[in-house]
Each structure stands twice: as C-alpha cells, then as structure tokens.
Amino acid sequence: MKAIYNASGKKFVIVGANSGIGQALTHELLDCDATVFGIDIQKDSQIVTTPKYFYFKANPLEKNDLDDVFTKIDTQVDQINGLVNLSGTIKQFKAIESLTSSDWDETYDISFKSCFNACKVITPLLRNAQKAAIVNMASGLAFIGQKNYGPYSASKAAVVSFTKTLAAELAPAIRVNSVAPGAVNTNFIYKEDGGTRFDKDQYIKMVPLKSLARPEEISSVILFLLSESASHITGQCIHINGGAGMH
C-alpha cells in the first residue's frame, strides 16, 4: 500500500504483531518510515527484524511481561506515537450454558484484558508524545448476537466501551479509537484441519461486497486512525465488514 503519511521519526507499538493484521500493519508503518516495536506471545517474529523493527516475546495477559518490555523500549526511545492492540482468540465454540468459568476466562482475558494491560503500561510513553493515538481491535461480533461466541463477543463489546472511556480520559493528548472487522482472511478464521470456523461461502453471499476482508483492508484503516489525517476522531468504533452490518 502507498504510504498515506510520513511517519519518519515516529514510533509505534503493536501488541499481536505476529497476527495477519499485525504483519500487514507493520509493513505499512515501515513503508511510512516509522519505527515499530512488535509484541506477541510467540518466541520468534514473523517479520524479519530490521533497524526499524524490534520484536519482543511477551504474554500481554501478564502485566509483568509488559512492564519488562516497557523498560526495554524506554531505554531506546523517550516517547511512543501510537499503540495498537490486536490480541484476541476464540478457544471454545460452545453455548454459554456449556461453558466453564475457565473456558470463559481464557477467551475473555486474552481478547480484553491484554488490551487493558497494554494501555496501562504504554500510556506514559504515549503521553510524552503529546499527540498520540491508540487503536484497539474490537469485532463485528460485539454488536450482534451470535450463538457459541459468548466470551469473545462480550470481550470485544468490552473493548468498544473501554475505548470510549479511555478516549474521554486521555483527551486531548491521546486519541483512542477501535475497529470492528467482519470476517478477515487470516489464520484466525481457520481450524487446525484447514476448514473455516463458519460457512465461508454462505457468509460471502450475505456480504454486499461479496468477499472476505484482506488483512491490508483492516490495517489501512488502523493506519489512518494512527495518522494526523484522523486528528479529530476519537472515541469511535469503525466498522469494516463489506456492508455485512451497516451501523
């Protein structure tokens, strides 16, 4: 994608950097001449580290892990211009009455608490930038009732509400927005046997634009929200779903 703004000298943190959307966003930010700090739970980065890309293995559910990363970043830079929280998972496809408390917590915590932890830890470096931005990953499932997605839907609804509260608390220095994609063609929608978690053909039929989203179609909106072009946008949730849900 052609860079939409000059991010030379700017620094960004991506939590969930190894995800499909995380990789797409990292490449776009590097194309904009930004410096990127990627965080994910896997040992190895899916993107080759460069003089402008640094990768840290950390579990965003563990605040101590993020504190350690913060300390390492803080020794390299005095400010961060943007934070993107992409963490999310669906561990169990069960009706709520069939879920155990641990089933619920596993999905809910990864999909929401990781966002909360990262915002708490990185906000001091964002404040140093004076004009900074946070973008949190919500989901279209936060806005509809879909069976067997209980803890994930609830966690992403929490992200939407959390984003609005944080936007009010951190303004005017830091803008905070969320994005709510529909189905995106990444590993997230596929099972271990290679099949999708839902009827992909049926889903595409109901989408007015007749396709799954590509990762770049989500990351480009995130990039816009991070940029000065979105300087008067905060507390909003941007839906990216090909028209599957019109809000």
Enumerate the active-site residues.
Answer: 152
Which long-range contacts (C-beta less than 8 Å, at least 24 apart) are formed by 21-24?
A: 21/86, 21/137, 21/184, 21/186, 21/215, 21/218, 21/219, 21/222, 22/84, 22/86, 23/47, 23/215, 24/215, 24/216, 24/218, 24/219
Cα(101)–Cα(88) distance, rounded to whole angstroms? 18
